[in-house]
Amino acid sequence: MMNSDTPKLLTLGYDLDAWNGYGAKIPITTDIFPTINSHILICGMSGLGKSYFENILFSKLIISEPRGEYFFADYKGDDSFAYLRKCPRYYAYKNTLQALDAVYSRLNARQSGEDESNHPITLIWDEYTSNILALTNEDKKAAAVVLNKVSEILMLGRSLAIRCCFSLQRPEAAVFPAGSRLNFGAVIVLGAAIKSIYEMLLPDFMEQVKGCVFGQGEGVALLQGSQLHFIKSGTVQNSERMRQICVKALS
Ligand SMILES: Nc1ncnc2c1ncn2[C@@H]1O[C@H](COP(=O)(O)OP(=O)(O)OP(=O)(O)O)[C@@H](O)[C@H]1O
Ligand SMILES: [Mg+2]
């Protein structure tokens, strides 16, 4: 039986120096026990490996939480996720908001006590910022409603075992109203980012990241706002197996 002191660890990647220096794979983990703040933010410029990383992370999350329920929003309809297209809980392009609504209604049902289940529910959303900015251009009022739902999930999700895993290029404050960006327990910045991105996400660690050079799939992970790690995302060992795991979880 798990109690609140039992960590439930998810491997985010591997220690970068150990991997590059002497080929050792030392896992960098984050605690995903439901009562821990386990929202995950993945940030990085285009082409630096966010979607590749998300596929790996998603499959690891499913293995760690086989009872979990997953919803996948893919604003770009990225090729990296083409294998998910037939899954009922995969939502691309204009349909991403259906994934948000599904998760938001679960939040409300758990809040009201109508839903007494407590298994983890995860909303994965690729290209979150672009999706919100496009929606804002189209319809400001509708975008404001969406942002309120997102910030409610980010702020209240932890106590209701509901988690967000968002991937984006720029973590603008405007797409995280009321400071909801602070609710990400794990923040991963892949590749060398411009200073303003580090300032937004890792303001207390500017000295440590200054001048760092990262390749594809390499970067930093900040855990619970206090532990900074340099990480390597790892590579997909068996893509067929990884895809089977992800497809099953969204079906
Ligand atoms: N760690 C890695 N090891 C090997 N190949 C990788 C790695 N990370 C990314 N790639 C490859 O690099 C390319 C770009 O990666 P990916 O699509 O994940 O980037 P992205 O950050 O999601 O870009 P975008 O913002 O354009 O969606 C892909 O072909 C991917 O397979
Ligand atoms: Mg991508």
Domains and CATH numbers, the chain: 9-249 (3.40.50.300)
How confident is the model at residue 5, as a pLDDT? 55
Average pLDDT of the chain, as a whole number: 94
Average pLDDT over residues 81-108: 98
Which candidate, 154, 231, 223, places its Cα nearest to that of 185? 223
Q: In what order do the strands lie in the sheet with 9-15?
A: 27-31, 9-15, 227-232, 218-223, 184-190, 39-43, 162-168, 121-126, 69-74, 90-92
Q: Nearest residue CA, atom 14 of ligand 1?
A: 47
Of 76, 83, 216, 236, which is best to mutate to test ligand 1, by the most ligand atoms within 8 angstroms of its C-beta?
216
How confident is the model at residue 216, as a pLDDT? 86
How confident is the model at residue 33, as a pLDDT? 84
Which candidate, 199, 190, 204, places its Cα nearest to that of 172? 199
How confident is the model at residue 1, as a pLDDT? 44
As for ligand 1, residues whose beta carbon falls within 6 Å of it are 44, 46-52, 78, 80, 169, 216-217, 233, 235
Place of tokens 């970068």: 16
Q: Nearest residue CA, atom 6 of ligand 1?
A: 49
Q: Which atom of ligand 1 is nearest to the CA of 44?
A: 21
How confident is the model at residue 35, as a pLDDT? 76
Q: How sure is the predictor about 6, in pLDDT bands with cuts at 50, 70 and 90?
A: low
